[in-house]
Amino acid sequence: MALHHQSFDTIIIGAGQAGPGLASALDGRGEKVALFEQRAFGGTCLNDGCRPTKAMRASARVAHLARTAAKHGVHTGDVTVNLAETVARKDELIDAWREGGSDYYKNHESISYVLSTARLTGRDGDLFTVEHDGGVVTAKRVIVNSGARSVPPPVPGLDGINWLDHHSILELTETPDHLVVLGGSYIGLEFGQMFARFGSKVTIVEMADRVIGREDPDISEAVASMLRREGLDVREGVGVSRIDVTEGGARLHLNGGDNLDASHVLVAAGRIPNSDDLGLETVGVETDEHGYISTDEHFATNVDGVYAVGDVNGRGAFTHTSYQDGTILADHLGGGDMTVAGRIPTYGLFTDPPLGRVGMTLTQAQDAGLNVEVAITPGDGVTKAALDGETEGLWKLVVDKDKDRVVGASFFGLYGDEAVQAVSVLMHVDAPASALATWLPIHPTSAEFLPTFYGALEAPGESDQ
């Protein structure tokens, strides 16, 4: 649907996690709203991010549980994965969600939903002008929710091969013989483990001295060791000097002289905001040195009437942060007092087991000069993990001793992504860490370990890093 010379109260560019909710909230207040999406409803999360990858992760986990079932006294034959069937299951789920959301807004009585690129082109008096395929529209307010995209590293020869990114790897229907993953951060580790469990030989190449470098070194090492025990070749502190095309795929020449022959190469390193083709310069919206749109605590840019939410503002590249951006902005535009100031970072690494993270790492807390105590236990110290026979992991709680506040947690282990949220709530409401001592958790669960964890706090030693 093309719109011609219509005027709106608000134009939203991008139907990712923040855009649709904002459109509905503002429409509910009587505003005339247009919502533009250039690719597919739901943004990265729904189409080629969180949900499709977790659907395929579930299949990989089932395969792994079947292969390791003998330790439970359950015996199976050879376990194989039909990747085409796994992808079909993923597509059925995602297509239904995407089509449901898209149909809702396409058929909405008062919100104009347009599948088209859209960019600012300047002003028409007090209104902003936005150009899209087939027309120009105006609005008093523009909200940018354009997201971010993958960018390949500057490796000679990479542009000569058909490399995969986190979009295209989800469409493979045959398991790679040897998948080489460039990048040992969240995307690379999740896909690496997933395809190893599907039956591929997997090598992860990380240029930095350790994988998931934003975590404490002991957490990084615990994750890397778990992957190595599953058969992945995890190489840290190694760069790729050149890539050549081969009959079977590609040959990667590593710094130091080693070569890797890959059937497939996944590029899982680097993302940039989608801010370069929005026409921001036509109205004077400022971006930082990385291209992220600069915003205040209510997501307002330096230009009155223009806001930026989601990955494009650099305040968190996660579905949950984007969604909350929309909630905060909707509240602010309605006269509320919600703000992004003081947001406590929280996220998960969805290897299996997962890593649930909130707040500071121990390293960050010490660098900030806090007087901290820490409790650490390996995964087999958690009763639920032992009962389920899934004891990989390292659990870590960091407390500010002077203020009696939890400042961070790194829960790598069975249901660590769920258990960490109890800590996140505690931090969010600024409750004392000592509240954990009197909390009554359910037995047996992973979260039940938190009171014991609190009782085990002590000054950190060198080995706690």
Query: Angle CA(84)–CA(86)–CA(87) in degrees, nearest 5?
Result: 65
For tokens 């499709």, what's the residue? 52
pLDDT at 462: 64
pLDDT at 151: 87
- 418, 447 Cβ separation under 8 angstroms: yes
Q: Which residues contact 349 (CB under 8 A, 6 or more apart)?
A: 186, 189, 190, 212, 223, 355, 357, 412
The partner residues of 235 in beta bridges, in order of sequence, read 205
pLDDT at 5: 64
Domain boundaries defined on the chain: 7-149+272-333, 158-269, 346-459
232 to each of 63, 199, 220, 407, 419, how far by Cα in Å? Answer: 16, 11, 15, 33, 27
Burial 197-206 (b: 16+ CB within 10 A, else e): bbbbbbbbbb
Two domains, one topology: 158-269 and 346-459 = no
Going by CATH, does the domain composed of 7-149+272-333 fall within 3.50.50.60?
A: yes
pLDDT at 81: 97
pLDDT at 463: 62
Mean pLDDT, consecutive 10-residue stretches, the chain (465 aa), reads 79 92 96 93 82 96 97 95 96 92 92 94 96 92 93 92 93 97 96 98 97 97 98 97 95 94 94 93 96 96 96 87 93 95 93 98 97 96 96 97 98 97 96 96 95 93 69
Q: How many CB atoms lie under 10 A from the CB of residue 274?
A: 20
DSSP sequence for 162-183: --B-TTGGGG--S--SEEEEE-
pLDDT at 254: 96
Alpha helices in 3-69 (DSSP H): 19-28, 43-48, 50-67
State the CATH architecture for 346-459: 2-Layer Sandwich (3.30)
How far from the centroid of its chain's Cα atoms is residue 378's Cα? Answer: 25
pLDDT at 133: 87
**Domain 158-269, what fold?**
FAD/NAD(P)-binding domain (3.50.50)
